[in-house]
């Protein structure tokens, strides 16, 4: 398997691989253009996001936005991310329809081995993240690798989501926990 195939399958891989390095550089070029575009350049922004995500994603993202690759992010209809969103997409990140992210939300599929020798070697891996329909994630929340968030979920600002959340709940805190059923 190539390093990219290993990365996408959630196995240990070398992020310094030439193909992955070029993919990240390509994404950063598009992100630079996007993040430095004028607010009235809506068509230009749509084209840049379409290239980044390699799709006609139905999304609106306030600059500044950062991600690793872009091509591992999939959006349902009516997606909105407020300022300073970061998505580390070494594995797939899937958003359902009507997902709203507050400012400074961080979504991490990337992680590193706990074993020091593996970590020092430069090996890393990822775990996919799935976010359901009608989800609202409050500002400065962090979604950790491998988390699945159900439909109709509200996550409070500043939360650190380390475990799966079922449908129809309000959750908050560090670590994030269910506050009430909806």
pLDDT tens digit string along 20-74?
999 999 999 999 999 999 999 999 999 999 999 988 777 999 999 999 999 999 9
- The total number of structural domains in the chain stands at 1
One of 112, 148, 151, 177 is an active-site residue; which one? 112
Indicate if 112 belongs to the active site.
yes
Q: Is the peptide bond before 175 cis (omega within 30 degrees of 0)?
A: yes
Whole-model pTM: value is: 0.96
So what's the pLDDT on residue 55? 81
**CA pair distance 52, 61, nearest whole angstrom:** 12
Nearest to 132 by CA among 113, 151, 145: 151
So what's the pLDDT on residue 54? 87
Which region, left, alpha or beta, applies to residue 113 given φ > 0 means left and ψ of -120 to 50 means alpha?
A: beta
- Residue 149: CATH number of its domain: 2.160.10.10
For residue 75, give its domain range. Answer: 3-181
Q: What is the mean pLDDT of residues 113-141?
A: 95
pLDDT tens digit string along 123-132?
999 999 999 9
SS3 155: strand
So what's the pLDDT on residue 122? 87
Please report the DSSP string for 4-69 in residue order. HHHHHTTS-EETT-HHHHHHHHHHHHHHHHHHTS-TT-HHHHHHHHHHHHTS---EEEPSPEEES-
pLDDT tens digit string along 73-104?
999 999 999 999 999 999 999 999 999 999 99
For residues 173 and 57, which has the higher predicted lDDT (pLDDT)? 173
Please report how many Cα atoms fall inside a 13 Å half-sphere around the Cα of residue 141, on the Cβ side: 24
Q: Which residues contact 71 (CB under 8 A, 6 or more apart)?
A: 23, 52, 53, 54, 89
């Amino acid at each position: 398997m190539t390093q990219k195939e290993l990365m996408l399958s959630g196995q240990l891989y070398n992020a310094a691989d030439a193909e992955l390095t070029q993919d990240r550089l390509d994404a950063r070029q598009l992100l630079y253009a996007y993040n430095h575009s004028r607010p009235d350049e809506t068509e230009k922004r749509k084209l840049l996001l379409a290239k980044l995500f390699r799709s006609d994603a139905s999304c609106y993202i306030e600059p500044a936005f950062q991600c690793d690759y872009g091509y591992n992010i999939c959006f349902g209809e009516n997606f909105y991310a407020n300022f300073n969103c970061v998505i580390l997409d070494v594995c797939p990140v899937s958003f359902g329809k009507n997902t709203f992210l507050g400012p400074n939300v961080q979504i991490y599929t990337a992680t590193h081995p706990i074993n020091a020798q593996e970590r020092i070697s430069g090996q890393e891996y990822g775990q996919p993240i799935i976010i359901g329909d009608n989800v609202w994630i409050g500002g400065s929340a962090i979604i950790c690798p491998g988390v699945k968030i159900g439909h109709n979920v509200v996550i409070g600002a500043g939360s650190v989501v380390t475990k799966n959340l079922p449908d129809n709940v309000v959750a908050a805190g560090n670590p994030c926990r269910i506050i009430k059923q909806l």
